[in-house]
A = this chain, B = another copy of it.
Amino acid sequence: MTTGRLIVIGGDAAGMSAASKVRREQPQREIVVFERSPHTSYSACGMPYFIAGLVESADKLIARSPEKFREKFNIDARIRHEVLEIDVTGQRVRVLNLADSSEAWEAYDQLLITTGAEAIFPQLEGSDAQGIFSLSTLASGIKVFDFMDKELPRSAVVVGGGYIGLEMAEALVRQGLQVSLIEKGEQVMGTLDPDMGILVSEALREIGVALYLNESLTGYEASNGKVTGVVTDQRTIPADLVIVGLGTRPNSKLAQQAGIILGEKGSIRVNPRQQTSAPNIWAAGDCAESFHLVSRKPFHVALGTVANKQGNVAGINLSGGYATFPGVVGTAVSKICKYEVARTGLTERELKTLGLQYTTATTKTKTRAGYYPGAGWITVKLLAEQGTGRLLGGQIVGLEGAAKRIDVLATALTAGMTVQQIVDLDLSYAPPFSPVWDPVQTAARQLV
């Protein structure tokens, strides 16, 4: 049985999943968590809905507070403590107490790095003006909310058409702002193929977002220290509020400085048990690498689901058990007002990069029996390997009830199913839920 002091760097999904798991397995073990922000275990994914006014307070996004971890779980969760350095050979970390600026070395027997990811925020002309935000921590979400509450912005520009950008565009539309979105690609949602992304672009325009595609951010205009506009390579768009949603990068600097091997996109390389290249050091969550079960290659994704799973696996291993995290198939889902968007597996671009021959089918059907009230459209695109018919990817855009169907495809991908096997699946049918052939099967039928 593994014993000794466990230190966890980072108190969100992965770190606290691991800490909680270790606590359940080892009631007496000393567990210390250092968290730079004032919050533990919050739902970063919930911030757009908080800003949209759909969630009544930021507190609702917190699953468990530091107090709760201390009192109910006997986990020494220290917020506003930033780890500055890992001493691998000395098995200790240097910690800055942000409250009193004191520093101390803390020894560990095992160390878990769950430092997450940080928002990409390019330093451009005017980017220090007030009213320009990115979203990563809960604190950053609260800042946006407070700014809106105090400054009452009337126009906003969202930079970047990925998940966070789109969800923030919806949130700001809901709050009555005039919203523009700039995206340097030809379509929003670059994790979809362009022919599916165009459906999302249409959805955005329909909810009133002014969309500027093929356009890049070059800087900001400001007046009296407050942002007044976003400058692109083609125009200046007036804005009282700017949300920079250009994605995230793994927070792996600490690990890198300690000589730990990094992988995809600078994430911390781990084996399936979540062990890093350094002795007694583990990593999990948005800062750690994953594995793509379809491309069979290292992969990085910053998602709460993966963070929870990796954290749980790390927790089992750290407490002397044995568990592995097999990897991901690249599943993601999002809602933009009434529109639902989902994807799993590989896109055409990814398949071309891998040199895989593939066929595709795209079908537009209904989410329910055509005669049942509320049947909405659903477009499903499937990608399958040429010759074998093995499913390689799926993308869905549609109305209510569309997106969660991606899970069938994610499961089929994991099992290595062919499109014929998807056609044969005994999926549930009743008029309020589906046509007789489920939309994913209708698409699969085009490929057999």
| A442 vs chain B, min Cβ distance (A) | 11
CA distance in complex: A146, B107 (Å)? 81
When the two chains form their complex, are residues B426 and A403 in contact, meaning their CB atoms are under 8 A apart? Answer: no
When the two chains form their complex, are residues A415 and B407 in contact, meaning their CB atoms are under 8 A apart? Answer: no
Across the two chains, which residue of chain B brings its CB closest to A330? B426
Across the two chains, which residue of chain B brings its CB closest to A290? B426
User: CB-CB < 8 A to A306: which residues of B?
Assistant: 426
User: CB-CB < 8 A to A253: which residues of B?
Assistant: none
B-binding segment of A119-127, A217-225, A321-329, A349-357: A321-329
Tell me if A404 counts as interface (CB < 8 A to partner B): yes
Tell me if A335 counts as interface (CB < 8 A to partner B): yes
Tell me if A96 counts as interface (CB < 8 A to partner B): no
Contact flag A49-B372 (CB < 8 Å), given A404-B434, A414-B421, A414-B425: yes
For chain A residues 49-108, which have a beta carbon within 8 Å of chain B?
49, 54-55, 60-61
Q: Which of B305, B340, B401, B434 contacts A426 (CB 8 A)?
A: B305
When the two chains form their complex, are residues A373 and B54 in contact, meaning their CB atoms are under 8 A apart? Answer: yes
For chain A residues 402-429, which have a beta carbon within 8 Å of chain B?
403-408, 410-412, 414-415, 417, 421, 423-429
Tell me if A430 counts as interface (CB < 8 A to partner B): yes
User: CB-CB < 8 A to A410: which residues of B?
Assistant: 425-428
Q: How many residues does chain A have at the interface if contact means C-beta atoms less than 8 Å apart?
A: 65
CA distance in complex: A154, B250 (Å)? 65
When the two chains form their complex, are residues A433 and B333 in contact, meaning their CB atoms are under 8 A apart? Answer: yes
CA distance in complex: A331, B438 (Å)? 13
User: CB-CB < 8 A to A328: which residues of B?
Assistant: 426
Contact flag A430-B335 (CB < 8 Å), given A404-B401, A408-B411, A415-B417: yes
Tell me if A46 counts as interface (CB < 8 A to partner B): yes
User: CB-CB < 8 A to A370: which residues of B?
Assistant: 60
| A367 vs chain B, min Cβ distance (A) | 10
Tell me if A369 counts as interface (CB < 8 A to partner B): yes
For chain A residues 284-341, which have a beta carbon within 8 Å of chain B?
293, 303-306, 308-309, 325-335, 340
CA distance in complex: A372, B13 (Å)? 18
Q: Which of B45, B309, B325 contacts A431 (CB 8 A)?
A: B45
Q: Which of B331, B412, B425, B437 contacts A427 (CB 8 A)?
A: B331
User: CB-CB < 8 A to A254: which residues of B?
Assistant: none
CA distance in complex: A54, B369 (Å)? 12
| A43 vs chain B, min Cβ distance (A) | 6
Q: Other than the known A332-B428, A332-B430, A407-B407, what 12 A-B pairs have Cβ atoms closer than 8 Å?
A: A46-B369, A49-B431, A55-B371, A61-B371, A163-B430, A305-B426, A305-B429, A306-B426, A331-B428, A342-B428, A404-B405, A407-B428
Q: Which residues of A contact B (CB under 8 A)?
A: 13, 43, 45-46, 49, 54-55, 60-61, 163, 293, 303-306, 308-309, 325-335, 340, 342, 344, 369-373, 401, 403-408, 410-412, 414-415, 417, 421, 423-434, 436-438
